[in-house]
Amino acid sequence: MHLEEKTIESEVIYEGKIFTITHDTALLENGSTAVRDILLHHGGVCVIPVTEENEIFLVKQYRYPFHTVTSEVPAGKLEKGESHLECGKRELMEETGYICDEMIYLGEMLPTPAYNSEITYMYLAKGLKFSRQNLDEDEFLDVEKIPLADAVKLVMDGVIRDGKTQIAVLKAARLLNI
Q: Which alpha helices (DSSP H) does the chain contain, by range?
A: 84-96, 148-156, 163-175
**Alpha-carbon span 159 to 153, nearest angstrom:** 9
Spatial CB neighbours of 142, under 8 Å, sequence gap ≥ 6: 59, 60, 61
Question: Cβ distance 76 to 93 under 8 Å?
Answer: no
Q: Name the active-site residue from 79, 137, 139, 144.
A: 137
Q: Any idea of the CA torsion for 171, 173, 174, 175, to the nearest 10 degrees?
A: 80
Of 111, 107, 112, 110, the C-alpha closest to 123 is: 107
Euclidean distance between CA atoms 104 and 102, whole angstroms: 6
User: Is-catalytic flag, 52?
Assistant: no
Catalytic residues: 137
